Amino acid sequence: MAEVAKDLTAGTIGGAAQLIVGHPFDTIKVKLQSQPAPLPGQLPKYSGAMDAVKQTIASEGPKGLYKGMGAPLATVAAFNALLFTVRGRMEALLRSEPGAPLTVNQQVVCGAGAGVAVSFLACPTELIKCRLQAQSALAESAASSGAVKYGGPMDVAKHVLKSEGGLIGLYKGLVPTLAREVPGNAAMFGVYEALKQYFAGGKDTSGLGRGSLIVAGGLAGASFWLSVYPTDVIKSVIQVDDYKNPKFSGSIDAFRKILASEGIKGLYRGFGPAMARSVPANAACFLAYEVTRSSLG
């Protein structure tokens, strides 16, 4: 139980660091992912990441970059505590003996298992976050279609529970969430362990300096998005899709329609901000986790 408590505490602090550093990048990513495809002869609402930043700050101020942060902030403790705790328990199961180091392949398995667990917490949290982040990008179409305008995280949750099928409505997009979290976390924890072992020269990795942990954590986070980004686009468009007049019947339908209308590049909308976020945010997360875990003994 002591080890579980350490993982819970360190995971919570690591998650908070990740959220504070990375949320503005995530806001821009979701806005780019969810903006409506322009009609023939029209330009998209945002021409790119920097244009989205400028328009967001101009219309909403700097606080607009932190829109939707309430939902993940409220659950970041649970999310990262669950992620690192499940990973830690799987590490314990796979070790040949207490304290024995794990191979990179074993860390991949641990990451995949942790990804399954966190998907069920991530899905409703991200549905709320994405709708709040995307609604300003969809404001023009919302005004003409009568789409719902949300006042905050609780307002989104209340609306979904009341009008979109109850608790099941909060799990809209679960399939692409699993398709993102399972392989993504497998890649991330595998790369993180591989880099730590490389920096340690094949020796004990517990003595690595903060610089090495920052680099390993940042590159591990980048590997997450490199391996699964299109599934995140699918998740976002499904979660912000109009409940009454849906454009997509499911993940496969969304994939086909995006590919048909925009080509491969449509599956990589917002990729720049996602990658720009992943490196510093995950570097902060892993560093905070490792330092906290070490300080707890």
How far are the Cα atoms of 10, 15, 82, 122, 178 from residue 77, in angstroms, in the given order? 10, 7, 8, 12, 20
Q: For the beta carbon of residue 212, count every other beta carbon within 10 angstroms.
A: 17
Mean pLDDT of 220-246: 93
CA 234 from centroid of its chain's CA atoms: 13
Q: 69-124 pLDDT, tens per residue?
A: 776 676 777 788 899 999 999 999 998 887 788 999 999 999 999 999 999 999 99
| Residue 108 structural domain | 2-295
More confident residue, 26 or 287: 287
DSSP readout, the chain?
-HHHHHHHHHHHHHHHHHHHHHHHHHHHHHHHHHSPPPPTT---S-SSHHHHHHHHHHHH-GGGGGTT-HHHHHHHHHHHHHHHHHHHHHHHHH-SSTTPPPPHHHHHHHHHHHHHHHHHHHHHHHHHHHHHHHTTTTHHHHHHHT-----SHHHHHHHHHHHS-THHHHTTTHHHHHHHHHHHHHHHHHHHHHHHHHHTTTS-GGG--HHHHHHHHHHHHHHHHHHHHHHHHHHHHHHTS-SSS-S-SSHHHHHHHHHHHH-GGGGGTTHHHHHHHHHHHHHHHHHHHHHHHHHT-
Count of structural domains within the chain: 1
pLDDT at position 272 over 60: yes
* Side chain identity, residue 242: D
Provide the pLDDT for residue 136: 61
Provide the pLDDT for residue 142: 46
Residue 200 dihedral angles phi and psi, to the nearest 5°: -85, 0
pLDDT at position 157 over 70: yes
Mean pLDDT of 129-146: 63
Confidence of residue 150 (pLDDT cuts 50, 70, 90): confident
Q: 11-22 pLDDT, tens per residue?
A: 888 888 888 888
Mean pLDDT of 55-80: 81
- Show Cβ contacts of residue 25 under 8 Å, excluding neighbours closer than 6 positions: 273, 274, 276, 277, 281
Provide the pLDDT for residue 137: 56
Reduce the secondary structure of 157-187 to three states and give it as a string: HHHHHHHCCCHHHHCCCHHHHHHHHHHHHHH
Query: Which residue's structure tokens are 């720049």?
Result: 272
pLDDT at position 140 over 70: no
Provide the pLDDT for residue 1: 60
Arithmetic mean of pLDDT over the chain: 88
CATH number of the domain to which 18 belongs: 1.50.40.10
